[in-house]
Amino acid sequence: MVKALGDKPRAVWVMLPAGEITEKTVEVLGGLLAPDDIIIDGGNSFYKDDIRRTKKMAETRIRYIDCGTSGGVWGIERGYCLMIGGAKEAVDYLDPIFAALAPGLGVIPRTPGRQKAASQAERGYIHAGPSGAGHFVKMVHNGIEYGLMQAYAEGFDILRNKDSKDLPEDELFNLNMPDIAEVWRRGSVISSWLLDLGAAALVKDPQLKEFSGYVQDSGEGRWTVEAAIEEAVPADVLSTALYARFRSRQEHNFAEKMLSAMRFGFGGHIEGQESIDPEPKPNESEVHAATKKPEE
């Protein structure tokens, strides 16, 4: 594959799950590429791994770019929101690729105060900073996603249980869940793409019977909470949303089914077909031992 690439500097985009498979792929590519070539990790790698890999690749003058990619299975139609980390000259060289993958201005109204020529951010991609910054921004993005989804899920669970036999008879409401989701899409302050996905799921199956409510996590939510701890930043909502996913593996209610439905909607995530826990990160001593030179 590397030999088949055109003129140098060459660029290889890696799009694999975070962990060992990405680690090994980057290592193999590092042995095949030449100075000034570029490796782009477009998956969801842990940002500290990006910093380490950048230093390792720099030993042979290979450039490493981390690119947080959001858009799920719909990105092929809508374009992908890209959060990029790495050296500016390499990011600038790759700009045509990022611009082609990003959604562009589209029909979203411009933010007041941005009257100048459309920036990269307005077109759906940014150079967030040095190595690791792209995946760090995407990591926090996914942590926020956990919180948003949990809020929707809990809200719909409250609505659904308003006909509970434990309530007074004159306070019982048999609410139309699909219609509530639909009306919230129309002019509501809580309208969003996640709500769109939830509304579509409820129209198809108001009871969400095809979902068990078993909700997995791919790692970014955990890493976001870890970052919050390192920075001493309170993250009550994001932490609770993560713990709710842990709880879903022991008991399942309508909120968990709603979460599963939204995850399937944006990412095609199928219950029971992902690992329960993300691959653990190596601790600092293990990383040092693995990269230690023989003479050391």
Neighbours of 207 (CB within 10 A): 11
Instruction: Give the whole-angstrom CA distance, residue 223 versus residue 52.
Output: 16
- 20 classed as catalytic: no
User: What DSSP string runs through 221-250?
Assistant: HHHHHHHHHHHT---HHHHHHHHHHHHHTT
Q: Among the options 138, 154, 256, 257, which is catalytic?
A: 138
Instruction: Give the whole-angstrom CA distance, residue 65 versus residue 40.
Output: 5
Q: Among the options 122, 145, 154, 220, which is catalytic?
A: 145
User: What DSSP string runs through 252-291?
Assistant: --HHHHHHHHHHHHHH---TTSS-SSPPPPPPHHHHHHHH
| Cβ–Cβ under 8 Å, residues 14 and 22 | yes
List the helix and strand counts (H, then E) for the chain. 12, 5
- 138 classed as catalytic: yes
Q: Where are the beta strands (DSSP E) in 44-98?
A: 63-70, 81-85
Residues recognised as catalytic: 138, 145
